[in-house]
Structure 1
Amino acid sequence: MDIRRVQMTGGSSFVVTLPKDWTQQMSIKKNDPVRVTPQADGTLLISANISEDQIQRTREFDVTTCTNATFFFRSLIGAYIAGYTEIKVKSRGRLPSFVRMVVRDFTQMTIGQEVLEESETGVTIKDLLNPGELPFENTLRRMIVIVKGMHQDSIAALFEQDQALAEEVIAQDRDVDRLHWLMARQTNMVMRNINLSKKMGLTLYTASQYLLVSRTLERIGDHAVRIARNAVILSDKDQDQLIIAKIREASTLSLTIFDQSVTAFFDLDIRRANATIEEVKGLEHLCEGVTTAMLTHEAEDAIAVGYIAESIRRLGEYSADIAENVINYVVEHERDL
């Protein structure tokens, strides 16, 4: 830590000298401008970047010896989430066909990524999305609508023994992943560029809270898919109406808890958040009842219903996680209880 004393110049202005090592690293010379940004916690941020334009960052991948398509795809997603604005894929020889297929899948599964240049030995992917055009709250609200609809449709597919509807739920998981990756990408970009956070009107702490909720929503979507897959397994089986009634009751309560948690999140309602967490105990009891009632059924059916009950319970528990984030945020910002 470097401590510097405040000095006075001109009889009215206060000055602090900048560390020489930092100025050399940032190539700052005499009379060069720097940006000084006051922070909410009372600190000052000094930056050599005075432009509000998006910071351009490039990541290169040499796939000459790459043979694993899954690993390559995960690497591209990693670069996307890290906030790179340009991704270059190159090879010393002709690009393998699987690399082109992975690049195509990557651009289809991510938001704002497009192939701008392509040759026999390389591909350049460019980010065409201005991060400020998609506010965090809008992305999160869209995720909420999708995952809630996935849960409702997966339960409907179970009750109506509708395999097509179940398959539709499974396909929607890609949309949730795309939005979660976007949220993670924007968070990393905000962390690297304080000017972007000010432009988007949110603090770094708020951005991290949105990312936590986004990750929770992505997991809720995964459990909706789990329900749908087991609904397919049960689609040609005779239904026990007592079990169906118990599942319906548990599902209704889990969705109520979910709705209350997201309302508490956007309203920063700490009392509603606390009440929502308490309701999870009742949901756990209902889900245990579903599992117990299936003990007299065939093993395959009992296992499938057990997975469904578990995923319904997880929806409630993940909703409680969102409510806990509300309490943490409100307490952190010293708001009235």
Structure 2
Amino acid sequence: MELRRVQMTGGSSFVVTLPKDWIQEMRIKKNDPVGLIVQPDGTLLVTKKTTDEPLQRVKEIDIGHITDPSFLFRMLIGTYITGFTEIRISSKQRFPPFVRSVVRDFTQMTIGQEIVEETDTLIVIKDLLNPAEMPFDNTLKRMFVIVRNMHVDAITALETHNHALATDVINRDLDSDRLNWLIARQTNMIMQNPSLSRKMEVSTGMAMYYYIISRIIERIGDHAVRIAENAEPTMDIDLDPKIIAALKKASAMSMNIFDKSIISFFNADIKEAHKTIESVSALENICGDISNMAFKQETLAAISISYVAESIRRAGEYSADISENVINYIVEEDRSLHRRPAGK
């Protein structure tokens, strides 16, 4: 850390000099303006950037040595999440057919990405979404609704032997992934561009908590998919009604923990978060009982039911992780006495 003394000039203005190396690196000259941004933690950010225009970042991808479609897709997702606003995919020769297919899948599976230029050797993808138009609160609430419905429908598919509903739950997982990727992208963009933090009215620290919680919700969605997948082998078997009843009870307990964790987050309610964490042990007990009951079923059904019970338990435990992060953030920011209303 480089220390500078604050001086007074003109009897009322405070002045501090800027490091010469930084001035030269930023190519700042005499009388050039600089931006000053007060951060939520009290620090002062000095930046050459003096407008609120989004930071434009271009990623060049030469696919000359890429032959694996999955690798190209993962590169595109990584580029999207890290906040690049333009992606230029190029090749010295005509694109192989898989490139356009991967690019098409990428633009359909991400939010705001559109192809703006396309030739035999060049594809340009641009981000057309203004991050400030997609508030974290709205995205996270939408994720919550999608994932909660996935879990409930997966249990319903198991109970009613509904193959189509189970398949629909599996397909809906992409909706959850898209929103999680969006939150990850916006978080990275905020870290790179503090003015975006001000525009979205969320601190960099809070943005990180949104990302952490979105990742947890996405994992709960993954377990809803596992429930739907493991429901399939049981649909041609008459399960013990007591097992079905126990699964429904455990599922309701798990989703109750999920509900209360999300409410405690949006209400910044540290006491509710603590109570929610304490309720997980009852869920773990009933899921253990279901696994024991499953041993009386046929082998295939027993395995599937045990996996379902495990996913119900994990969904509840992940929900408790949300409450733990609520407590961590409130303690860090000392916000327990300054709750913000839900949706604000």
SS class of match (2:279): helix
| Residue-by-residue CA offset, 1:187-244 (whole Å, 9 max, x unaligned) | 0000111100001101111101110110000000000000001111111111211111
CA contact (8 A) 2:90 2:122 kept: yes
- State the AA in 1 paired with 2:20: K
For 1:134 and 1:98, the matched residues in 2 are separated by 32
The more displaced of 9-18 and 302-311 is: 9-18
Residue of structure 1 in register with 2:69 after alignment: 69
For 2:78 and 2:336, the matched residues in 1 are separated by 40
For 1:107 and 1:275, the matched residues in 2 are separated by 42
Residue of structure 2 in register with 1:212 after alignment: 212
CA contact (8 A) 2:224 2:311 kept: yes
Residue of structure 2 in register with 1:295 after alignment: 295
TM-score, normalised with respect to structure 2: 0.96
The more displaced of 188-197 and 289-298 is: 289-298
- State the AA in 2 paired with 1:138: N
Written as runs of structure 1 = structure 2, the 5 A alignment for 1:13-32 is 13-32=13-32
Measured at CA, do residues 226 and 336 of structure 1 come closer, stay the same or move farther in structure 2, by a change above 3 Å?
closer
Root mean square deviation, CA, Å: 0.9
Residue of structure 1 in register with 2:307 after alignment: 307
Residue of structure 1 in register with 2:101 after alignment: 101
The more displaced of 77-86 and 294-303 is: 294-303
For 1:72 and 1:262, the matched residues in 2 are separated by 35
Give the total of aligned pairs. 337
The more displaced of 155-164 and 22-31 is: 22-31
CA contact (8 A) 2:255 2:316 kept: yes
For 1:59 and 1:179, the matched residues in 2 are separated by 22
SS class of match (1:251): helix
TM-score, normalised with respect to structure 1: 0.98
Written as runs of structure 1 = structure 2, the 5 A alignment for 1:31-46 is 31-46=31-46
Written as runs of structure 1 = structure 2, the 5 A alignment for 1:225-240 is 225-240=225-240
Residue of structure 1 in register with 2:120 after alignment: 120
Written as runs of structure 1 = structure 2, the 5 A alignment for 1:269-280 is 269-280=269-280
Residue of structure 1 in register with 2:261 after alignment: 261
Measured at CA, do residues 164 and 22 of structure 1 come closer, stay the same or move farther in structure 2, by a change above 3 Å?
same
| Residue-by-residue CA offset, 1:32-61 (whole Å, 9 max, x unaligned) | 000111222222110100010100000010
For 2:117 and 2:136, the matched residues in 1 are separated by 30
TM-superposed CA distance for 1:128, in Å, is: 0.2
- State the AA in 1 paired with 2:251: S
Residue of structure 2 in register with 1:180 after alignment: 180
- State the AA in 1 paired with 2:232: V
Residue of structure 2 in register with 1:317 after alignment: 317
TM-superposed CA distance for 1:7, in Å, is: 2.0
Residue of structure 2 in register with 1:189 after alignment: 189
CA contact (8 A) 2:239 2:297 kept: no
For 2:242 and 2:272, the matched residues in 1 are separated by 32
Measured at CA, do residues 292 and 300 of structure 1 come closer, stay the same or move farther in structure 2, by a change above 3 Å?
same
For 2:247 and 2:4, the matched residues in 1 are separated by 65
| Residue-by-residue CA offset, 1:300-321 (whole Å, 9 max, x unaligned) | 1111001100000011101100
CA contact (8 A) 2:268 2:335 kept: no
SS class of match (1:236): coil
Residue of structure 2 in register with 1:131 after alignment: 131
| Residue-by-residue CA offset, 1:67-123 (whole Å, 9 max, x unaligned) | 111011000000000000000000010011101100000000000000000000110
TM-superposed CA distance for 1:336, in Å, is: 4.4
TM-superposed CA distance for 1:264, in Å, is: 0.7
Stretches (4+) displaced over 4 A:
none
| Residue-by-residue CA offset, 1:224-280 (whole Å, 9 max, x unaligned) | 000001111111111211111111111111111111111111111111111111110
SS class of match (2:53): coil
TM-superposed CA distance for 1:294, in Å, is: 1.0
For 2:8 and 2:280, the matched residues in 1 are separated by 60
Residue of structure 2 in register with 1:223 after alignment: 223
TM-superposed CA distance for 1:65, in Å, is: 1.7
- State the AA in 1 paired with 2:267: D
Measured at CA, do residues 147 and 25 of structure 1 come closer, stay the same or move farther in structure 2, by a change above 3 Å?
same
Residue of structure 2 in register with 1:243 after alignment: 243
Name stretches of at least 5 consecutive residues in structure 2 with no aligned partner: 338-344
Residue of structure 1 in register with 2:160 after alignment: 160
SS class of match (1:64): helix
For 1:40 and 1:65, the matched residues in 2 are separated by 45
SS class of match (1:244): helix
Q: Percent identity at matched positions?
A: 57
